[in-house]
Each structure stands twice: as structure tokens, then as C-alpha cells.
A and B are shown apart, each in its own frame.
Chain A
């Protein structure tokens, strides 16, 4: 079993989800190669070489890999895939974008969002917003897999450097072009990797009231999230969204504020270690999954909580 893991990065640093993917790969076999496709990404290749469990780092450095365009990234992975039994990436916005393209070009049925390996060819993945777990077996020669980062620990870093090998670029695809990006500037931790997440729902009433959650999050060193209802209502941007169709989080502490607890929201946070729910509706379904429920008006409870943490 030789496994190819595709690193996610911004040409400067390796994203944490890659470390989760390396741990997942170790469940399939121990000969793990990590592909760094980027442009001017030498620093990333260096970090990749120090990830525990990585036997070799493959580096493809070319302008067409600068922004992770899926057409180019998929073509590169396909050009390398015949040496591998498994191709694995984290189920992030990047992984979700290019991996199915890889699978189609290899005529392989991708297994998305895997949370456990039962055997090198048997995988467990959530379906129906996590209301069911399917155990599936793949007979494809090259298994194309995206893994749910929160289901696997991050591989350790700082081990002795693995060897690095440059690989040839695949022919560039010119029908898709990167134009630009706007990233939300925030000093808070990344939602998917935070130890504490404070999320707001429709009960927040408007976007301005999210300042209450910002203040609490700053006290706790937490990330701020939201339910789909809050995103739909335009209170906050979509990248705040926790749920089946947003981000999947599993922090040490998840504080749900003014969130009723729709199925699709629970799908994104029910693996959190400790869940706190603050809601003025005592019948809200969120209380059924919360470790600690506080039946109170959030506009009083949240500021009180924030000031009590001084």
C-alpha cells in the first residue's frame, strides 16, 4: 500500500487539515507520500518533509499550481496516481473541489468525508447530515478518498526531514483562470481548527448583534460560527456556517447561542466534546444534545457570561 496525500497550503504554510489527512492515510498503510503542488512553495515543502509518518515529499512547482485551480491540480494528481493504491486529501473547500475531478479521470468512485477506516478498502462515512453512518467497500484499483479532518488527530510535526523529489508538471489547462480572492481578516483562530467555538443562530436577530459573540469569543480565544439560518438571513458571511452544508467542527467547547438545533446544524457540531446551549425557547431541540443548557434570553446571558470571565 503506497498512499499519496495531497497537501493543502497557501504557498507559505501547510494547512492543519493536511496533518489530519496524513494520520488518516496511516490507517491504510505506512508508505505515505505527500504532494506539495504550488508556486514558490519551498517553505511548504520543508514543513511537509517534517510531518511524522511521511516517507517522501513530492514537489510540483509551476505557475499553474499557484492558486490550486482544480483542473490543473487534478491533472497533476492523475499523472502521478498509477504508483499509488490510495489518493487522500482533506475534505476542505480545496479538497472537495479537485478530488472528484481526480476520481472521474481515474474512473474511480470517490469516497467522500471518510471518518474511519475499517480496512484499506472499507470506509465509514456519514450520510443524511450525519443521521446515518454508511460502511462502504471500494473495489477500485486506486481509491480516491476525502477525509473529515475532525475525525482524525493531526500528525506530529518536527520529525527528521523526509526526502524531497521534484515531479514534472502536467500540461496546463487554460480554460479556467484565477482572478482574485478576498479573505476575511480575523485575529481569531480558524473555525475548523479552534478549541472553542461560539456560534449564533437566528435568535441573534441581526448581524450587528454578533458583536456580543465576538466579545465572548475574544475572552475565550474562540472562533465565531453561525447556523445556516443566520447565514441565510444575511447576518454573517457563509464561511461562518457550521453544519451539513458548511463547516464540520469538533472543538473542546461549542457554545450555541440562539440556535434552535436543526438537523443540518447538529450535523456540523455534534462531535464537539462539550456543548453549551443558550436559548430562550426551553423546547429548542439543541437542548437534547447539549451537555449544559441555559434557558435564558441571550441578550442578557451572553454579556453576563462575557463579563464574568474577566
Chain B
């Protein structure tokens, strides 16, 4: 089974984003970037399926600027076999990314596509589901556990209030949630090896996809700041405040 994993280069999750003073967006100049954490979980899951002998090849794909090569190299160092970059300098919105991934899937014919459930920059949470719809494939979002059973994939999903199990015919699209696995750290020897793994570059035109943004961003602002409160000395003082000042208990 061949697995395609989509990864995105985003602001590092430890960095506090700053809104640009002109309201045009978030300042990403000289900010530490990294692989979207949920995509890391997707790469890890694919590599584990390969190590378990279920997957024969793991191909990672990213859509974005030339700098997205960094996260593809990280995925290769984690154990993916080869990488594809769909290079574009345009701001790629989820619908465009889903179309690009559908184009790559048509060339690669994977049995399974794994992606993170959301990217921590735009927090849209759309790409996997849109990809599944464009391909006409079944989907399982928010995966907690995956088991391959012949031509069928059993996925346990995180839902509000608990877990749900679905069975999908392959090929299918799965998006990963936090508890699916803990991604491995990449080691220096693997980083060196990853440099020799193949990385092909495509562009949206080759795939016949119009990537022009469909949503126009009018303004990006800071959310209203929360006023700092007061420190209370003890439990009794806290209860007094909650009862008589805030009146919430």
C-alpha cells in the first residue's frame, strides 16, 4: 500500500504570533517556522504503517513556497521515502490546496492519504475533507486509532463526548488527532540520509489548478485584550469575590 502524507509549513507552535500594524496579516518575517504539529502525527502514522509492513512506500507532499522544502526534509528524516513540493508563491487557501493534493493523488495513486486535522496558522480544518470530496473517497477525520484490515480501514475517531468507529473502503482520506501517536524525534544520521532522498517539484499549472485566493482578507486585527485581574490571598477570599463581586456562584 502506498501512502501519501500532506504536510504544511507553519509558524512554530511555541511562537506567539504578532499582527502586523497595517492590519494586512500576521508578521512571519524572521519567525521560527516548523511542520504543522498534526501533520507530524500524520507522517509518524505513515512511517509506522511502513515499519509494520502494511505500507510499501510513503510519499510526502507540501504546497507552498520553496521554503516548504524544509518541512519535507523533516518528513524524509522521520522516514518518508520521497517528497513532492507543489511550489507557489500565492497565498494558498484550503480549497486550492485540496485541488492541488487531488492532482498529486491522481499522479501517485495512493491507497491512503493522511493529513493533520487542522493547520495551526489558519485553523480552518478543511483540507482533508475537501480532498476526500474532490476524489469521491470516504473520509475519517480526527483519527485516534487506525487499523488496516484487507481492503478496509478501521478508524476510531474523536467525537464530541467520546469515540466513534467507522470502516472505510480504500482508497480513503484520514485526518489525524492528537492522541493517534507521538511523533519521533529526527536524529542527525537520519537528517543526513534525508538529504539524499528524492524531492520533486511541481507547480499548480502542471496540475491544472487555479490557486487564486477565493476569500478576500479585508483586515487582520488583534483580538480585544483581557483585562488583568487581581490576586486573592486565600480560598476564603476567592469565594467571597466569586459570590459577591462576580456573582457567578
| Partner-B contacts on A (CB < 8 A) | 67, 69-71, 74, 92-94, 96-105, 107-113, 122, 126-140, 173, 175-184, 190, 192, 196, 220, 228, 231-232, 237-239, 241, 244-245, 247, 252-253, 263-264, 270, 273-276, 287-296, 301, 304-305, 308-309
B126-145 to A contact mask, C-beta < 8 Å, 1/0: 11111111100111111010
The 8 closest A-B pairs by CB, nearest first: A100-B129, A176-B138, A104-B130, A291-B229, A109-B214, A100-B126, A104-B133, A183-B162
A101 and B132 contact, Cβ closer than 8 Å, known pairs A133-B221, A175-B169, A308-B239: yes
By the criterion CB–CB under 8 Å, are A139 and B120 in contact? no
By the criterion CB–CB under 8 Å, are B138 and A137 in contact? no
A294 and B235 contact, Cβ closer than 8 Å, known pairs A127-B26, A179-B165: yes
B78 to chain A, nearest CB (A): 19
Can you pick out 9 interface pairs between chain A and chain B where the beta carbons lie within 8 Å of each other? A67-B164, A101-B133, A110-B124, A127-B220, A128-B17, A173-B138, A179-B154, A253-B246, A270-B226
A238 and B216 contact, Cβ closer than 8 Å, known pairs A301-B235, A305-B238: no
Chain A residues contacting B120 (CB-CB under 8 Å) are: 128-129, 244-245, 264
Chain B contact-residue range equals 35 or more
Whether a CB of chain A sits under 8 angstroms from the CB of B43 is no
The stretch of B54-62, B90-98, B186-194, B199-207 that contacts the partner chain: B90-98
The answer for the CA separation of A77 and B126 in the assembled complex, in Å, is 17
A62 to chain B, nearest CB (A): 18
- The residue of chain B having its C-beta at the shortest distance from the C-beta of A144 within the complex is B126
Chain A residues contacting B163 (CB-CB under 8 Å) are: 181-182
Give the contacting residue for A245; candidates B26, B118, B228, B232; CB below 8 A: B118
A100 and B26 contact, Cβ closer than 8 Å, known pairs A128-B11, A181-B165: no
Classify the interface of chain A: helix, strand, loop or mixed. Answer: mixed
Whether a CB of chain A sits under 8 angstroms from the CB of B103 is no
By the criterion CB–CB under 8 Å, are A133 and B220 in contact? yes
By the criterion CB–CB under 8 Å, are A182 and B125 in contact? no
| Partner-A contacts on B (CB < 8 A) | 11, 13, 16-17, 19, 26, 38, 93-95, 98, 117-118, 120-134, 137-142, 144, 154, 158-169, 172, 177-179, 214-223, 226, 228-232, 234-236, 238-239, 241-242, 246, 248-249
By the criterion CB–CB under 8 Å, are B248 and A253 in contact? yes
By the criterion CB–CB under 8 Å, are B231 and A294 in contact? yes
A292 and B232 contact, Cβ closer than 8 Å, known pairs A127-B220, A196-B248: yes
- The residue of chain B having its C-beta at the shortest distance from the C-beta of A97 within the complex is B141
